[in-house]
Copies of this chain bind each other. A is one copy, B any other.
Amino acid sequence: DVAKDVDERLIEKFLSEVDNIQIQENLRELTKVPHMATTAGDEQTVQLMLKRWQDPETGLDQAWREEYMVYLSFPDPKKPNKVTVVSPSDEVLYTAREKEKTYPSDQDDPEVVQPYAAYSPAGHPKGKLVYANQGKPNDYQLLNNTVDLRGTIAITRYGGAGRGAKAINAAPYGVIGVLVYTDPLDINDGLMSDINETYPHSWYMPPSGVERGSFNGQFGDMLTPYLAAKEETFRIPVEDITGIPPIPIQPIGFEDAYRLICELGGEAAPTQWQGAFNCTYNFGPGFRNPSAFNNSDVKLDIFNYEEKKNSSNVMGVIKGSVEPDRYVIYGNHRDSWVHGAIDPSSGTSVMLELTRVLGKMVKQGKWRPRRSIIFGSWGAEEFGLIGSAEYTEQYFTKLSERTVAYINVDIAVFANATLRASGMPSLQNIIFKAAKQVNAPGLDSTSVYDNWIKYSNRTSQANGLIPNVGYLSGAGSDYAAFVHYLGITSMDISYTYDRSKTNARIYPAYHTAYDTFDYASKFIDPGFVSHQAIARTAGNVLIRLADSLIVPLNCSDYAETLEDYLNTAVTLYQHQLQERNISMEPLKRAVASFRSAATHLDQVIRSSDLANETPLTVRRINDQLMLLDRAFLDPLAFPDKYAYRHVIWASSSAGKPTFPGLADAFANTESQSSAWDKVHYHLSVLSQAIEGAAHTLGDVI
* Interface, chain A (partner B; CB < 8 A): 2, 224, 226-228, 230, 232-234, 237, 317, 319-320, 322-325, 327, 372, 374, 393-398, 401-402, 583, 585-586, 614-616, 619-620, 623-624, 627, 630-631, 634-636, 677, 680-681, 683-685, 688, 691-693, 695-696, 700-701
Closest to A583 in B: B232
CA distance A477 to B614 in the complex (A): 39
- B688 A227 Cβ-Cβ under 8 A: yes
- B616 A323 Cβ-Cβ under 8 A: yes
- B228 A324 Cβ-Cβ under 8 A: no
Closest to A318 in B: B701
Return the contact of A401 from the options B616, B683, B696 (Cβ within 8 A). B696
Chain B residues whose C-beta falls within 8 Å of the C-beta of A224 in the assembled complex: 684
Chain B residues whose C-beta falls within 8 Å of the C-beta of A688 in the assembled complex: 227-228, 233, 393-394
Chain copies in complex: 2
Chain B residues whose C-beta falls within 8 Å of the C-beta of A683 in the assembled complex: 234
CA distance A234 to B677 in the complex (A): 8
Distance (whole angstroms) from the CB of A668 to the closest CB of chain B: 15
Return the contact of A692 from the options B396, B402, B691 (Cβ within 8 A). B396
Return the contact of A322 from the options B616, B680, B691 (Cβ within 8 A). B616
- B701 A397 Cβ-Cβ under 8 A: no
CA distance A228 to B615 in the complex (A): 35
- A586 B232 Cβ-Cβ under 8 A: yes
Distance (whole angstroms) from the CB of A362 to the closest CB of chain B: 14
Closest to A631 in B: B397
Closest to A325 in B: B700
Knowing A232-B585, A325-B623, the reply to whether A398 touches B692 (Cβ < 8 A) is yes
- B693 A397 Cβ-Cβ under 8 A: yes
- B616 A226 Cβ-Cβ under 8 A: no
Using A234-B680, A394-B692 as known contacts, list a sample of 13 further A-B pairs with CB atoms less than 8 Å apart, ordered by residue number in A. A226-B636, A228-B688, A232-B586, A232-B684, A317-B701, A323-B620, A325-B701, A393-B688, A394-B688, A397-B631, A397-B692, A401-B623, A619-B619
Closest to A317 in B: B701
Closest to A1 in B: B614
- A630 B701 Cβ-Cβ under 8 A: no
Chain B residues whose C-beta falls within 8 Å of the C-beta of A232 in the assembled complex: 583, 585-586, 684
CA distance A614 to B636 in the complex (A): 40
Distance (whole angstroms) from the CB of A565 to the closest CB of chain B: 19
The 10 closest A-B pairs by CB, nearest first: A325-B700, A635-B635, A234-B684, A397-B631, A234-B680, A234-B681, A397-B692, A372-B701, A325-B620, A398-B695
Chain B residues whose C-beta falls within 8 Å of the C-beta of A234 in the assembled complex: 677, 680-681, 683-684
Chain B residues whose C-beta falls within 8 Å of the C-beta of A325 in the assembled complex: 620, 623-624, 700-701
Chain B residues whose C-beta falls within 8 Å of the C-beta of A680 in the assembled complex: 234
Distance (whole angstroms) from the CB of A617 to the closest CB of chain B: 9
Closest to A699 in B: B324
- A701 B319 Cβ-Cβ under 8 A: yes
Chain B residues whose C-beta falls within 8 Å of the C-beta of A226 in the assembled complex: 634, 636
Closest to A678 in B: B234
Closest to A233 in B: B684
What are 12 A-B contacts defined by CB distance under 8 Å? Answer: A2-B616, A320-B701, A323-B616, A324-B701, A372-B701, A394-B692, A395-B692, A395-B695, A397-B693, A398-B692, A398-B695, A398-B696
Closest to A373 in B: B701
Chain B residues whose C-beta falls within 8 Å of the C-beta of A228 in the assembled complex: 688
Distance (whole angstroms) from the CB of A72 to the closest CB of chain B: 20
- B615 A401 Cβ-Cβ under 8 A: no
Q: Which of A317, A327, A636 has the most CB of B within 10 A?
A: A636
CA distance A230 to B687 in the complex (A): 11
Chain B residues whose C-beta falls within 8 Å of the C-beta of A394 in the assembled complex: 688, 691-692
Closest to A634 in B: B226
CA distance A369 to B557 in the complex (A): 35
CA distance A237 to B324 in the complex (A): 49
Closest to A226 in B: B636
Distance (whole angstroms) from the CB of A158 to the closest CB of chain B: 34
Chain B residues whose C-beta falls within 8 Å of the C-beta of A2 in the assembled complex: 614, 616
CA distance A585 to B635 in the complex (A): 29
CA distance A677 to B585 in the complex (A): 46
Q: Which of A586, A616, A634, A681 has the most CB of B within 10 A?
A: A616
Distance (whole angstroms) from the CB of A279 to the closest CB of chain B: 52
Chain B residues whose C-beta falls within 8 Å of the C-beta of A393 in the assembled complex: 688
- B627 A397 Cβ-Cβ under 8 A: yes
CA distance A126 to B396 in the complex (A): 56
Chain B residues whose C-beta falls within 8 Å of the C-beta of A398 in the assembled complex: 631, 692, 695-696
- A401 B627 Cβ-Cβ under 8 A: yes
Closest to A679 in B: B234
Chain B residues whose C-beta falls within 8 Å of the C-beta of A684 in the assembled complex: 224, 227, 232-234
CA distance A226 to B274 in the complex (A): 50
CA distance A398 to B586 in the complex (A): 19
Chain B residues whose C-beta falls within 8 Å of the C-beta of A586 in the assembled complex: 230, 232-233
Closest to A327 in B: B701
Distance (whole angstroms) from the CB of A697 to the closest CB of chain B: 10
Distance (whole angstroms) from the CB of A237 to the closest CB of chain B: 8
Distance (whole angstroms) from the CB of A583 to the closest CB of chain B: 5
CA distance A322 to B693 in the complex (A): 23
CA distance A614 to B317 in the complex (A): 23
Distance (whole angstroms) from the CB of A684 to the closest CB of chain B: 4
Closest to A645 in B: B635
CA distance A402 to B692 in the complex (A): 13
Q: Which of A230, A372, A700 has the most CB of B within 10 A?
A: A700
Distance (whole angstroms) from the CB of A308 to the closest CB of chain B: 15
CA distance A627 to B401 in the complex (A): 8
Distance (whole angstroms) from the CB of A197 to the closest CB of chain B: 52
Distance (whole angstroms) from the CB of A608 to the closest CB of chain B: 15
CA distance A230 to B230 in the complex (A): 43
